[in-house]
Chain A
Amino acid sequence: MHKSDNKVLNKVYTATNHEELMDAYKDWATDYDKDTVDRFGYVAHLSSARALDEHLDDKDAHILDAGCGTGLVAEKLVEMGYKNIDALDYSEEMLEEAEKKGLYKNYIQADLSRDLDIDKNRYDAVVCTGTFTYGHIDAEGFDRLIRITKPEGINCFTIRDGAYQEYGYREKMVELEQQKEWELLEMRNETYFTKESVQCKLCTYKVFAS
């Protein structure tokens, strides 16, 4: 189990089940942007949006922001000209915060650790930032992202350093590539929290035909 010196981060990282995790986010939703961006120097949403943009050539691309939280990634994507973005999060309170920003077409409340009620091959791209981390979604989440992405579509996600090594994400990523489920386009080491010196892996994959 990972502990952070920071109280709010500690609560989400040490959640032992998704009910506890949702509880933590419920209390946090309204202060989340201020806390993460201003206090911790959270920047992963910016590098994720940039990475996705480098691999998409159509601003009309149908994008799912999986684990959208309060909508930080979409703020950047909309600024870049993308306009066809759906939001998915397990926390109703976080989704409500995201909805206030008016950036998304559809809002989906769903748990990424379970099968999603979304059609296969639905999206041109899925971006998933800040979700592969302690106490959140394990490597099984990759299968779900792949299933709902079109062949040749893009999956772009961050994995927090530390959790990357502990949760077996890499083994699963390699296994899925060996099985020709997807192909790695880029994996970059990027800053996650500038003020806490935490890094993440920023991964971009192309999904193969299934």
Chain B
Amino acid sequence: MNQTNPLWKATYDADSPEEMLDTYSDWASDYDADTIEGMGYVGPSFSFRQLDGLLDSTGARVLDAGCGTGLVGELMKEKGYSRIDAMDLSREMLTEAENKNVYDRLFTADMSKRLEIDDNSYDAVICVGTFTYAHVGPEAFSELARVTRPNGYICFTIRDGAYQAYNYRNTMVELEADNTWELMEMRREDYLKKENVTANYCAYKVLGENNHA
């Protein structure tokens, strides 16, 4: 991670959620230019393309979990999606997202805890750039599945390196074995293109055969 943007690196090295939030708070206004142009961040566009291929209707109710500045919401709006909610831990990032005028409802939430969202609330959840170093671990998967309706979809990225270090795969397999969800696709593709970092792009269908107890 030598050449990585120092602010991006600071979010990985954060020792506490507070430290990570501080970094995002300082970075919010420059985030889009720094990540997309500076680092070749293609996570939002690749992941959205995967979700778009699975959804039948642009009327789908979608949660952008870990929306950041709203990069995913922007792409979705361009394609005609009109019912997107946004959730992030950082207020400053949510303010940037709000300025894009692409979301219905924006709220702060910590994905490492139980979400204050009803079961089966969304047709789909997209979560880009959140499963990575010092952010959110695999414990969040079951919550994302809980808030997604049966036969709905979840698309997310997991940064290479963190993918192995945090054992995301174990939980993914457990949730498939207990029929919480079914893998539609997992592809390893560019993530930070200019830094030769890849991510696993995962798409799951929620089965809802467990009772979310």
Stretch at the interface among B20-28, B73-81, B141-149, B185-193: B185-193
Check A175 against B177 for contact (C-beta < 8 Å). Answer: yes
Q: Which of chain B's residues have a CB closer than 8 A to the CB of A170?
A: 182-183
- The one of A174, A175, A186, A189 that contacts B184, using a Cβ cutoff of 8 Å: A189
**Which chain A positions have C-beta within 8 A of B176?**
174
Distance between B204 CB and nearest chain A CB, rounded to angstroms? 11
**In contact, A184 and B184 (Cβ under 8 angstroms):** no
Interface residues of A in 157-171 (CB under 8 A from B): 170
User: From DSSP, what is the main secondary structure of chain A's interface residues?
Assistant: strand
Number of residue pairs A-B, CB distance < 8 angstroms = 27
Judged by a CB distance under 8 angstroms, whether B117 is at the interface is: no
**Contact between A178 and B187, CB atoms less than 8 A apart:** no
Q: Judging by beta carbons under 8 Å apart, are A187 and B173 in contact?
A: no
- Which residues 131-187 in B have Cβ within 8 Å of A in the complex? 169, 173-174, 176-177, 182-187
The smallest beta-carbon distance between A55 and chain B, in angstroms, is: 9
Size of the A side of the interface (Cβ < 8 Å), in residues, is 12
Q: A174-B177, A177-B173 are in contact. Are A187 and B182 (CB under 8 A)?
A: no
- Asked if A188 is an interface residue, CB under 8 A from chain B, the answer is yes
The verdict on A185 contacting chain B, using a C-beta distance below 8 Å, is: yes
Residue pair B188, A187 in contact (C-beta under 8 Å):
no
Determine whether the beta carbon of B177 is less than 8 Å from that of A188: no
Which of chain B's residues has its CB closest to A189's CB? B185
A64 to B104, CA, bound (A): 53
Contact between A186 and B188, CB atoms less than 8 A apart: yes
Interchain nearest-CB distance for B15 vs A (Å): 30
Taking the complex as formed, is A183 at the interface, i.e. its CB lies under 8 A from any CB of chain B? Answer: yes
Determine whether the beta carbon of B177 is less than 8 Å from that of A187.
Answer: no
Indicate if the CB atoms of A178 and B177 lie closer than 8 Å: yes
B169 engages A187 (CB within 8 Å): no
Question: What's the nearest-Cβ distance from chain A to residue B68, in Å?
Answer: 26
Determine the residue in chain A with the shortest Cβ distance to B173: A177
Q: What chain A residues lie within 8 Å of B183 (beta carbons)?
A: 170, 184, 187
Q: What string of 1s and 0s marks CB contacts (under 8 Å) between B106-133 and chain A?
A: 0000000000000000000000000000
The answer to whether B182 and A188 have CB atoms under 8 Å apart is: no
Q: How far is the CB of A190 from chain B (nearest CB, A)?
A: 10
A185–B169 alpha-carbon span in the complex (Å)? 10
Give complex CA distance A155, B136 in Å. 31
> How far, in whole Å, are A170 and B179 apart by their CA atoms in the complex?
11
Once the chains bind, are A184 and B182 in contact (CB under 8 Å)? no
A9: shortest Cβ distance to chain B, in Å?
A: 26
Q: How far is the CA of A57 from the CA of B73 in the complex (A)?
A: 38
6 A-B pairs with the lowest CB-CB distances in the bound complex, closest first = A174-B176, A177-B173, A187-B186, A178-B177, A174-B177, A188-B187
Known: A177-B173, A189-B185. 9 other contacts (CB 8 A): A170-B183, A174-B173, A183-B169, A184-B186, A186-B186, A187-B186, A188-B185, A188-B186, A189-B184
